Structure 1
Amino acid sequence: MKKSVRTGLTAALAAPLVAAVFAAPASAAPNDVRLSTVLNDNDFSITFVNDSQSRVECDWLARSATSRYHNEHVIVEAGSQSPISVSGVADGDYRVTWLCTDNGGNQWGTEANPPTDSPEDFTVGSGNPGNPGNPGNPGGMGSLGFGR
């Protein structure tokens, strides 16, 4: 009888410790890190916005059937932004995908597991919304943030 009481008491006291050791890390909010883009004729800019409590490392890719533009290992400090400008982009239909990670294993972006955003599609060249031939739209592609 004493042995079963001791075993039960030990198990009851050890359970919270085991749960704390094996608990998953606190996950960050899906919109803590986001990407915004702006298109202007054959130029575009990408800005990573990091509202998380951690420094993040980001990769992005804008690709068409014939062209690729990308940047790897963009470091964005906690509470800051990192703008990137790309000039002379070849005409075409592009899709932007991205991924940011922190040292704690948190992920954000279209390539995150699970994804916190959807890829953004845009057209560069004749008839694109940012083309001077279509002055009714300034060319903003909007935010690629979560919840779109």
Structure 2
Amino acid sequence: MKNSVRTAATAVLAAPLVAAVFAAPANAAPGDVRLSTGLQGNNFTFTFFNDSPNQVECDWFVDSATTQRTFSGVVRAESQSEYTLGGVADGDYQVTWFCTDTSGNQWGTDGLSNPPTASPETFTVGELPGNPGNPGGPGGMGSLDFGF
């Protein structure tokens, strides 16, 4: 009799813990985490905005025809983090990114985040033959947003 009471009590007390461990991730809003980019001359700035209640870990990739650079960072809950890549060589580039939190929520570009919350961003540094250079005047493109 004691064993059955102990077993029942253990099952009742363990049920909420098991439910919490295997709970489905909360639905995050697509705009909770976003990336804004800026180009000034040959310096490229990435600013991640995290409006979610959780810290996120982000990876972003800067690809050109000849190189791929990979970066990682952490953005605290309800804050922003800025990263700068200086001395970027002239050329055409594409930026893709992916952020996730410990609950399994994802944000980022198509092919990295499921579902995607942004599109890859392309930009040109410097003037290339056959390319009029950076629109928006000398020194850069200003702020590029990722469709938000």
TM over 0.5: yes
Where does residue 84 of structure 2 map in the other structure?
Answer: 85
Tell me the residue number matched to 2:68: 68
* Cα distance in 1 for residues equivalent to 2:25 and 2:47: 27
Whether 1:129 and 2:134 are equivalent positions in the alignment is yes
Which residue is 1:39 aligned to? 39
The count of aligned residue pairs is 123
Q: Kindly state the Cα deviation for residue 125 of structure 1 after the two structures are TM-superposed.
A: 1.4
3-state SS of 1:24 partner: coil
Preserved contact between residue 130 and residue 140 of structure 1 (Cα < 8 Å): no
In 2, are the aligned partners of 1:36 and 1:145 still within 8 Å (CA)? no
CA 1:145–1:77: 2 relative to 1, 3 Å:
farther
Gaps of at least 5 residues in structure 2 are: 1-14
2:118 aligns to what? 117
RMSD (CA atoms)? 2.1
Q: For 1:94-136, what per-residue CA distance to the aligned partner results, in whole angstroms no more than 9, with x for missing partners?
A: 00000000000000000211111000000111143279xx33x
> Is the contact made by 1:122 and 1:141 (CA closer than 8 Å) also made in structure 2?
no
Q: Is the 8 A contact 1:31 1:145 kept in 2?
A: no
Equivalent residue for 2:103? 104
Structure 1: gaps of 5 or more residues: 1-16
Task: Give the match for residue 52 of structure 1.
Answer: 52
| 8 Å CA contact 1:39, 1:130 repeated in 2 | no
